[in-house]
A and B are shown apart, each in its own frame.
Chain A
């Protein structure tokens, strides 16, 4: 907080003459764009075109645009988009901060879309904060004609931010179908990588490394510097950062569509198969279970393997394929950290299906032994004790 004296000093300084701001460089030429006219005045617009089968890193774009809408529906709880995959907008924004709320601006908005046999990335940039009406005017018709948005972390950030900007400008926000790739990315790569940032996936999945990239955290400061001092030198790098983000969105969508459509044809890591299984399981278990089995066959290990076994066993149990289920549970009881669920299932299986109370009792006793000294065990203890007491009663009655 500044003190009263600071304020006085500052105000005195302003009372003296204010230096005229240096004239802005023509930023649109610097970033290779042009001015586009809108009903609210001109806006800087940069357009880049790519072939529809463009390769971004190791991944080609085309699987994204040839994918059946239902395949994209596997990636989001909203289900398949209502229109055409070719009418989706791949969206990324650069903003004046991460704080959210009404005081954060999206000063650069990049959208990617198919146009004939080309893929176009179009970027709109405000040269000053009063150009926001023009930026929104340029975006609004493009949103109105789109069948949906694809973003990375857009449901937590970009989309509410743009919605806020639209409402502030008294514009109606079009409630578009929205695929936020962060959620499926976490399912597929959450175990494999330490984080799920877009750059992590570019490096680990798309086989891409960014040279001379601006770190995202620096971008607001660079923009403020441009606003106050008209230093535009770093801005081309901000534009290319945003463009790469949009391209990576397409590549990632393409990768996911291909892997979901024909997992058997892709040579994937076991964790990735497990992740695809999770995505499919919710929509179509018939396609999810093979992915799970494949993950185990490829050598999935650790806690993730036990989680997959429990899911598989759950489905086997539902189909009354008890032997298959029992084998999976038995392997899962060997997990390094104690998990009461496979023990419980095994005990239920012996007690209710086999009606072999002695075997059930042995399972519970082994579980109690394993449960000791663990936090999860302390919580499960009551259930185990109750089950054990009931088994003792039934054993006594049958004698």
Chain B
């Protein structure tokens, strides 16, 4: 048995290829390393009996659509070598595991739905932190409450896992729990942290400690939600709603043993969504887990994998790709000068290696290294002690200069951040002794670059085209660790992170809006509600995941060089104070460059609006819930009726 992934040393790879009976790998390696070199794996492909895909539910949306195409390629190659492996898949609870599995591998499956999870008694608690300021309705900070609960269990020697919703929250929660459980010598080693960005050695040590029982508690992001074997624990504390019902049960499921009692506690944040869940536990228990949707035939994704497939084996006349008829696609690629038809086959005819240009995930691999310089020795020979990695998309928010970066609750201050294109991407940090952490303040903006299609409705204009989405970290708050009070702030000078993508947008005739309500404020709330509704409904039409789309309520401004980004509050203010009130709802593709989602939104918009109105009229909540316009505290009391009126006036 061997592991074959990006970390496998070059000189070990030949041995793995020749000798492995069982290969552990990941979709990315299969896609770019194994399939394009299948002749080197002759032995494996000739004898392949089983393909096992774990954590099936993770392969949804665009990522899942990519995986389904990688499976099409895998099956083609197996057929070439005369093998026909059986697929075995395992999924966490989702609404449609059978459908997802069948779409991913392109054939029928037999579903085994009995739960093998521990069946001891389990208590699920919804905990809403107490109101500490009745006048302003302020509740006790949820992280402090979650820490207090977790510490109480740990002190009783009860194995506990705490989940936080971000990497920063994980560190803060860990730090607070450690302070509470430290023994007289100050040692709090019984509780550890776990999240993406830690070096593999640190993660393996924590996993091992949990299995052996040396580590009693762990604070983690969703990284420990899946896969990793850490044994079973007694209590799960969920600091904040993880965003989906499926994740909620996955996290809660980390607590539970064959016999005896276990508990999961959901601690609500003050965010509207969490407050809604805490006050409507029936919603938590009654709502089925989300559907996982994939669309392997998305032309953008399909065409990219056809290139990879043609590189691997020429396509024969009349050959299908999975169940997709690809004759037109192959002809199009021939016209593009990438394929060449000879005899009755299409051959790859380009100098490039197509898998290098197709990434299965949106995240770039361009990571920042976090380097501790505290221990540079006196001879000034630079010692590079790498202590963590941070992915590109979150780097500016977490390792900007002067940020406090926490690793297992140890604070490091960022001295320098090297981010320019020509530079190696690194952050130099120094160990410091401070009692606060930093939380970045960011701003966002979206501008139209090019309008490609228009459709004028009776009361609105729908468009589709290219947009620029920009985000920028403009400053940070300093927050005291023990009390979570805001104790200061700072500004940072960082470039804006920009992405060009495709978007559909909808601008409503101001006269129509005026008839709905005379109050701009009410209208903005109602439009935000419509934005939320459309964003959460669109994936059903597009067969993608909610995260594959972004949404934004702005106005229809064309991009001007150096346009300034806004925070959510200032955008709202700008809309309210504008001379001309022309609010615009954007639904954009979260994948740089776009993969056709925005075009689909534009096409199905009338249906989408109609479905939105259906949902509003059939949703039984009084003034907004996460299943329709979003939680009431976020969008306001009047949002649901206003949103209904807006959709009605659009002729939906």
Contact = CB atoms under 8 A, between A and B. Distances in A.
Q: Do A and B bind each other?
A: yes
Interface of A: 1-5, 7, 10-11, 13-15, 96-103, 105, 128-131, 163-164, 167-168, 220-221, 224, 227-228, 375, 378
B313 interface: yes
11 contacts: A2-B303, A7-B303, A7-B332, A15-B328, A102-B39, A102-B311, A102-B312, A103-B312, A103-B354, A224-B350, A228-B349
B332 A11 contact: yes
A382 B260 CA distance: 58
A99 B37 contact: no
Interface string B299-328: 110011000001111100000000000001
Interface in B339-365: 340, 342-343, 345, 347-354, 357
Interface residues of B, number: 42
A4 B42 contact: no
Nearest to A381: B379
Contacts of B328: 11, 14-15
Contacts of A228: 337, 340, 349
A96 B335 contact: no
The 8 closest A-B pairs by CB, nearest first: A103-B311, A97-B351, A99-B353, A130-B343, A130-B342, A103-B348, A167-B39, A10-B332
A3 B594 contact: yes
B136 interface: no
A220 B351 contact: yes
Contacts of B336: 2, 10
A1 B331 contact: no
B351 A14 contact: no
Contacts of B39: 102, 163-164, 167-168
A167 B313 CA distance: 12
Q: Name the residue in B39, B345, B350 with the highest tally of chain A Cβ atoms < 10 Å from its Cβ.
A: B39
Interface of B: 36-40, 42, 299-300, 303-304, 310-314, 328-329, 331-332, 335-337, 340, 342-343, 345, 347-354, 357, 379, 381, 452, 593-594, 596, 599
Contacts of A131: 342
B360 to A, nearest CB: 14
Nearest to B300: A4
A70 B599 CA distance: 69
A267 B15 CA distance: 45
B300 A129 contact: no
B503 to A, nearest CB: 13
Contacts of B354: 103
B335 A227 contact: no
B299 A7 contact: yes
A15 to B, nearest CB: 8
Nearest to B344: A130
B189 to A, nearest CB: 32
Given A99-B352, A103-B36, A4 B596 contact: yes
Nearest to A5: B452
B637 to A, nearest CB: 41
A100 B353 contact: yes
Contacts of A4: 299-300, 596, 599
Given A1-B593, A14-B335, A228-B337, A167 B311 contact: no
A181 B352 CA distance: 27
A98 B36 contact: no
A97 B594 CA distance: 29
A101 B36 contact: yes
B36 A1 contact: no
Contacts of A378: 379, 381
A281 to B, nearest CB: 24
Nearest to A163: B39
Nearest to A98: B351
A129 B37 CA distance: 19
A101 B331 CA distance: 23
Q: Name the residue in A4, A14, A378 with the highest tally of chain B Cβ atoms < 10 Å from its Cβ.
A: A4
